[in-house]
Structure 1
Amino acid sequence: MKKSVADDHATYGAEAEATPTRAGSAGRQLMSLAEQIAERIFTSIASGEYAPGDRIREETIAEQLDVSRGPVREALRILEKDSVVRIQPNRGAHVTQLTIKEVGDLFEIRRDLIGAMVRRLAPHNDDLIAAIDAGVCELESVGQGGGGAEAYLVVSNRLGRLLADASRNERLAEIVGSLARQTRRYSMLGLASAARRKESARTWRAMVGALKAGDANAAADAVEDLIDALRREAIRQLALPLPTRTKD
């Protein structure tokens, strides 16, 4: 049965909360129609419904979601900005596949910027520490309960947005959010195994401990280690033949 975007508004609102689409106060608002559609398309790409190189047809998406082609076109431009699709004249939008080097470069930039962002945090921010602590408890619960990479990434993205909001630099937070979206498909590869998710949760726990001790540098080091581990595992998975890659 065809289901419209309007019918799915509550579901998209939850996805908006789980995805670092905006910095500052905007991060707490519902996404626009085009952003909701972009999130739906991205989810289809991440789940393997669309493979690298596949064309995404505006008219098909519009029909599936019962919307006009205008917001679908805008959604594809959003995804192009984040290197998820590439729009070519007279050929439409096609799913991208980044090279291993490009993935490594993106994660390296993301690591350095997130480290800088965490080092900007005000010391002894009890509200922030409590919120991150609660999120890390949720990450640990997802890992112990057998939750998959997607469920884990929802929570870790929320934690990333908390850090971005607390950095007091909206432009930096916006860039970091864009990099998180660009690397999201590859973050899921980096978190594909239960062992990797548990390792990631332990690093987040170390980061919380550093914040509680008032050591922003140690907290930043932990976050940088977190991104480095994601980068290494994502690259390792990309180097494997598709059928042998780790799955939940």
Structure 2
Amino acid sequence: MKTKARASAQLRVESSVPHIQAEIERLIANGEIDAGERVKEAVIAQLLGVSRGPVREACRLLERVGLLKSVMNKGFYVRSLSAKEALDLYDLRRNLFGMAGRLAAPRIDDLKIQGLEQVYNAMNEAISENDTVRFYNLNTDFHQQVVEYADNYRLTEIWPTLESELQLFRRQGLYTVASMQNSNREHRVILDALASGNPELAQRATEQHIAEGKVRLLRNING
């Protein structure tokens, strides 16, 4: 009986780790934990109603994907991403998102297009409310859906890691209303290209979108 109880408790801990990991990622993406700041395990454990053990395990997983770094005897800190690293990520994302567009175009159906349309419309609402946090999260969701529709296992596995790393340089290229409007106009072009079913057109639209995002980031970095 005791063995079963221990196994049940261990299962609850393991199942809570992905939830804790997602919550820490959300806090980082929303700027509630800044780059260079220590992740306060006790605070997060209390917030989520769990012990510190699974919080620590979630932090270890986030260290593996490059979001956190561990400092001996001090704990986990949100990693700082240099401008060079962020720009390199954009170059890599451009190639991969272009691949996603090319693969998704002949596979996508009307129902999936409608789902992307809903995200696109929600982003327009976020722009009208100047809600940069909501726009950023919807923008990430739009990209993730396109990648999933490409139906490529390795691409789907790699993409979230790149997006997570870019959170460390979050929203710097999407901060103004004008930048968000430009970004969503590009989403419209992607939607139309995917709906056409033309792989080459979809690849150009998705690659161009990431390239323009890099330009927005550079403009922000250079003031």
Any conservation in 2 of the 1:148–1:192 contact (CA below 8 Å)? Answer: no
Query: Match of 1:95, as an amino acid?
Result: V
Tell me the alpha carbon deviations over residues 125-159 of structure 1, each in whole angstroms, 9 at most, x when there is no partner: 3222222223222222322x224221112222222
Within-5 A mapping of 1:1-248: 32-123=15-106, 125-143=109-127, 145-239=128-222
Amino acid at match of 1:127: L
Partner of 1:244: none
CA distance in 2 between counterparts of 1:223 and 1:121 reads 11
How far apart, CA to CA, are the structure 2 residues paired with 1:61 and 1:133? Answer: 35
Q: 1:68 to 1:120 in 2, by over 3 A?
A: same
Deviation string 1:221-248 (CA, Å, 9 cap, x unpaired) is 22222222222323443455xxxxxxxx
Structure 1 stretches of 4+ moved >4 Å:
none
Q: Distance in 2 between matches of 1:235 and 1:113?
A: 20
CA RMSD of aligned residues (A): 2.3
What TM-score do you get using the length of structure 1 for normalisation? 0.75
Question: Using the alignment, how far apart are the partners of 2:165 and 2:217 within structure 1?
Answer: 13
Question: For each residue in 1:133-192, what CA deviation from the matched residue of structure 2 results, as whole angstroms up to 9, or x when unmatched?
Answer: 23222222322x224221112222222222122111122111012111211243412111
Unaligned runs of 5+ residues in structure 1 are 1-31, 241-248
> What TM-score do the two structures reach when normalised by structure 2?
0.82
Q: Deviations over 1:114-133 (max 9, x none)?
A: 11111112526322222222
Which is worse superposed, 197-206 or 133-142?
133-142
**In 1: Cα distance, 2:117 partner to 2:159 partner:** 21
CA deviation string 1:13-48 (max 9, x = no partner): xxxxxxxxxxxxxxxxxxx52232223333333444
**Comparing both structures, which one devotes a greater share of its residues to helix?**
2
| Alignment gaps of 5+ in structure 2 | 1-14
Q: Which has the larger radius of gyration?
A: 2
| CA–CA separation in structure 1 for the residues paired with 2:61 and 2:216 | 27
Q: Kindly tell me the number of residue pairs found equivalent between the two proteins.
A: 209
Structure 1 residue 200 displacement after superposition: 0.7
Letter in 1 for 2:116: I
- Cα–Cα, structure 1 residues 227 and 61, in superposed 2: closer, same or farther, change >3 Å? same
The C-alpha deviation readout for 1:89-133, integer Å capped at 9, x for no partner, is: 333211211111111111211111111111112526322222222
